[in-house]
Structure 1
Amino acid sequence: MTVTDPDEPFDEQQADPSPQRGRRRHRTRRVTKMTAAVLVLAAAGAGTAVVLAPDSNSKDASKAANGLPPATAEVLRQTLKDTRSADARLGFGTERTAVGRLPGTLTRLPAPGAEITRGKALYAVDNQPVVVLYGSLPAYRALAKGSEGTDVRQLEENLAALGYTGFTPDEEYTDATVRAVRRWQDDLGLKKTGTVEPGRVVFTTGAIRVAGLKTEPGDQTGPGQNVLSYTGTAKAVTAELDTADRRLAKQGGPVEVTLPDGAVVRGTITEVSSVSKPAEGQKKAETKIKVVVGLTDAKARAAVRGYDEAGAHVTFTADTRENVLTVPVSALLALAEGGFGVEVVKGSTSTYVPVTTGLFAEGRVEISGSGISQGVKVGIPK
């Protein structure tokens, strides 16, 4: 067996194992024959860790009687994808909680599944509505004449969207804002104070769907009381990944979703967050990566129309290499001086060739090196 330099041409005569050639000469590059024991796909991009363990059997364990490996495989040119599939749940995405701030008695609650849009009552305290408005900033203070800030602009934009005009939405709560708020309060059956007290509105990022109730009509409520839970109105798929697979969850990244009927639709990752799970019974506390997938194209929305909640599968693609040369991972050998190689088999001879590795996926590895091309045969140790 000879070991070639990556830049030196393969010499069949020099590798001739016949008795006439006598004892074969070995070059300075030494090869430690290894067998793949553990493949750790901890890749970020193309970086992948491979742990190899020495072959504990005799030399003959991975060599045929003629000195060649017991099996071979061809170098293929293909597209390699690093993918993972995870169990998921089709529903309406992340649940959030509406927390009360107004003291009193809950006199009206929505039915689970009800959809609430801007300007509509979410629930009622002492027979007065708590209203949904749109915005990303939670209500955290009373808003009155003289108030300034982005929350003032958020309120004024909602008033204008509901038809209460007479001002330019900005960050100043002026007399014009007071007049618009009074008209709004009058239509809701509230006292016309011109001031929006804490807890009178709930800001959400859009229309919401009531997921469940945490209280009942007649219950007393007040600051900090969880009233109900809600989600968005669009169908979404939620999956959990191990922290080691975080590379798969890229905001805005495309995924494939397999529905209960076997249909496969496209989705887009809309939310990625870490979720801590407390210890339970024999299970230790752990952290998971929560991934929410939006179903944005028309085909996907049509396919899930008949489901409220159902199981699903999500296929994540972390990396793709197009038109690359690949071999089975088991063909890789660890070189004694570091790095990896493959045993190139040509006729009745073979030689070790150093290679550079790329993406590991689907039981194969991307490689490149001198003399490595499509159709070349490489040895597969036993």
Structure 2
Amino acid sequence: MTAQQQEPAGGRAKAEDTDSSDTDGALGGAGRGRHPLRTSLLVLAAATAVGAAGVAATGAFPGQAKSAGTPRATGPQKTAPVERTTLTRTETVDGTLGFGTPTTVQQAATGNQPDDGGDSGGGSAQQPGRNTGNSNSSQEAGIVTWLPEEGATLSRGDTVYSVDEHKVPLLYGSKPFYRTLRPGVAGDDVETLEKNLAELGYSGFTVDEEFTSGTAQAVRDWQDDLHREATGEVAPGDAVVASGARRVAEQRTSPGALAGGEALTWTGTDRIVEVELEAGLESLVEKGTKATIGLPDGGTAQAEVTDIGTPSGGQETSGGGQGSEDGGDGGAEEATLPVELKVGSQQKLGRYQAASVDVILKAQTREDVLAVPVNALLAEPGGGYAVETRGADGRSRRIPVRLGMFADGKVEVSGTGIEEGLDVGVPR
């Protein structure tokens, strides 16, 4: 029996007793699923319907009839109307709140010296990464002289690291500088440089793909402010290009070390949610899918799927039997799909920097259906379910119903006599 075909009353009615043709395969569907420790509104439905059946069995509703359609002396003591509504079943999966997977910033071992008014012997026009292979020569490789603290936020123009007091700033763009930019050079990397110079307050040029004399003068002014030799040219490694502001995750070197290796790792500045989605749930997500994030303190935040990675796992694992160190059986690793979600309002996340969270995804929606509270269901002696209502004569009677989707404490119902606004009995 599947999760969408279980009856809500702890086995009192068989699945084949319910007509599924009117519910598009949604019979007994859970209102909320849970993976990997799945909990479903189906469980709630089962519990509440068992309670409703118990009410019927103990005569909590006075004068209850023994068969459908038989008049009763009195009506239900408490009622709720049949509603026309939209029901949405959800799946809840485990997610991790954080700043995302860090990326590495590689240093450029330029060996450049700060501008002290003397001849620097080539300055910033020298190609980065110049290292003769002589590890004993700090003059060749350069020495790391400064790094930002872990957890620091870097914005456009801020120093990412320094080598020999040579500041390497952060600029915004889609790809790193890969060639020396000088008058006469054209391309989208020139436009990236000019956009950043303009945002940092420099002028005298037009932001386009042409490196002009005006661009060169703005570069010299920028280099002066960085206390670097004012060459008017920008070499690869003179700046680190990233898509936006960054948060330092970990220092990978320290002041005094030879330059040329990893400087640090960093992430974006906004907290995101990452999910390893189980196989079989891929259809629940695509870019732009909305989700609700459940926080450890009970709060919620709205999020949107921004990235879907490549499925991983699904490979047979070795081990098991007598050759396994842990004595366990070998098996197949379950395939998962990495999903990233952007949280709309960072303020909704409070002060959480890293936490395990619930990610609530829409699994199925039924629009324009008739629904009643789950606890309005009464188990019929011969199988199936009914609701209790009061006739025009004031006497109570049972109306058999067919069940559809369960969601949000309600259940979709249909059947002869079931219509919007009809009052049905519920336990007090």
Give the TM bin, normalised by the shorter chain. 0.5 to 0.7
CA–CA distance in 2 between the matches of 1:113 and 1:344? 59
Does 240-249 or 106-115 show the bigger shift?
A: 240-249
Using the alignment, how far apart are the partners of 1:372 and 1:274 within structure 2?
51
Return the alpha-carbon distance in structure 2 between the equivalents of residues 283 and 150 of structure 1: 51
Structure 2 CA distance for aligned equivalents of residues 146 and 209 of structure 1: 36
Instruction: Note if 1:244 corresponds to 2:280.
Output: yes
Do the aligned partners of 2:103 and 2:266 also contact (CA within 8 Å) in 1?
yes
Match for 1:235: what amino acid?
R
Equivalent AA in structure 2 for residue 168 of structure 1: T
Verify: 1:159 aligned to 2:197, yes or no.
yes
Indicate whether 1:231 and 2:267 are aligned. Answer: yes
Q: Which residue of 1 aligns with 2:96?
A: 89
Matched with 1:306 is 351
Task: Report what 1:269 is aligned to.
Answer: 305
Q: 1:240 Cα shift?
A: 2.2
Alignment of 1:2-81 (within 5 A): 78-81=85-88
Structure 2: segments with no counterpart, 5+ residues: 1-14, 21-26, 30-67, 69-81, 109-127, 130-140, 319-329, 375-383, 387-401, 421-428
1:249 Cα shift?
Answer: 2.5
* AA aligned opposite 1:324: V
Structure 1 pair 99/82, CA: closer, same or farther in 2 (3 Å)?
Answer: farther
Which structure features the higher share of strand residues? 1
What SS does the corresponding residue of 1:184 show, helix, strand or coil? helix
Q: Which residue of 1 aligns with 2:368?
A: 323
Partner of 1:174: 212
**SS of 1:244 mapped into structure 2:** coil
Q: Which of 273, 294, 314 pairs up with 2:342?
A: 294
Aligned-pair RMSD on alpha carbons? 4.3
Deviation digits for residues 176-215 of structure 1 (CA, Å, limit 9, x no counterpart):
1111111111111222222211122122222111011222
SS of corresponding position for 2:297: coil
Instruction: Give the match for residue 119 of structure 2.
Output: none
Residue type at the aligned position of 1:255? A
- After TM superposition, the structure 1 = structure 2 runs for residues 202-241 of structure 1, keeping only pairs within 5 Å, are 202-222=240-260, 225-241=261-277
CA contact (8 A) 1:274 1:287 kept: no
Structure 2: distance between partners of 1:115 and 1:160: 22
Residues 247-258 of structure 1 aligned to structure 2 (within 5 Å): 247-258=283-294
**C-alpha distance in structure 1 between counterparts of 2:365 and 2:192, whole Å:** 43
Aligned-residue offset at 1:94: 3.9
Q: Is the 8 A contact 1:142 1:198 kept in 2?
A: yes
User: Matched residue pairs, number?
Assistant: 294
Report the counterpart of residue 46 of structure 1 in structure 2.
Answer: none
Q: Retained in 2: the 8 A contact 1:272–1:291? A: yes
The SS at the match of 1:156 is helix
1:262 deviates by 0.9
Q: Deviations over 1:99-124 (max 9, x none)?
A: 23344332211111001110110111
Deviation for aligned residue 1:373: 5.8
Confirm or deny: 8 A CA contact 1:276 1:285 kept in the other structure: no
AA in 1 matched with 2:342: G
- The residue type paired with residue 232 of structure 2 is G
Q: How far apart are 1:34 and its partner, in Å?
A: 9.4
Counterpart amino acid of 2:367?
E
What CA deviation, in whole Å up to 9, does each residue of 1:15-62 have, x standing for no partner? xxxxxxxxxxxxxxxxx96999xx9x9xxxxxxxxxxxxxxxxxxxxx
| 1:188 maps to amino acid | L
Q: Identify the residue that residue 62 of structure 1 maps to in structure 2.
A: none
Gapped runs of 5+ residues in structure 1? 1-31, 42-67, 69-74, 329-342, 346-352, 376-382
Q: Contact 1:276/1:288 (CA < 8 Å) preserved in 2?
A: yes
Question: Which has the higher mean CA deviation after the structures are superposed, 159-168 or 143-152?
Answer: 143-152
CA deviation digits over 1:224-283, x for unaligned, max 9?
x43211112223222221243223223233211111111122223333323646988868
Q: CA 1:203 to 1:367, structure 2 compared with 1: closer, same or farther past 3 Å? A: farther
Of residues 157, 163, 170, the one that matches 1:132 is 170
Identity of matched residues, %: 39
Q: Quick one: structure 1 residues 183 and 309, their matched pair in 2 at CA, closer, same or farther if it must change by over 3 Å?
A: same
Please give the TM-score of this superposition, normalised by the length of structure 1.
0.62
Q: What's the TM-score once normalised by structure 2's chain length?
A: 0.56
Cα distance between partner residues in 1 of 2:185 and 2:406: 58
Find the counterpart in structure 2 of residue 112 from structure 1: 150
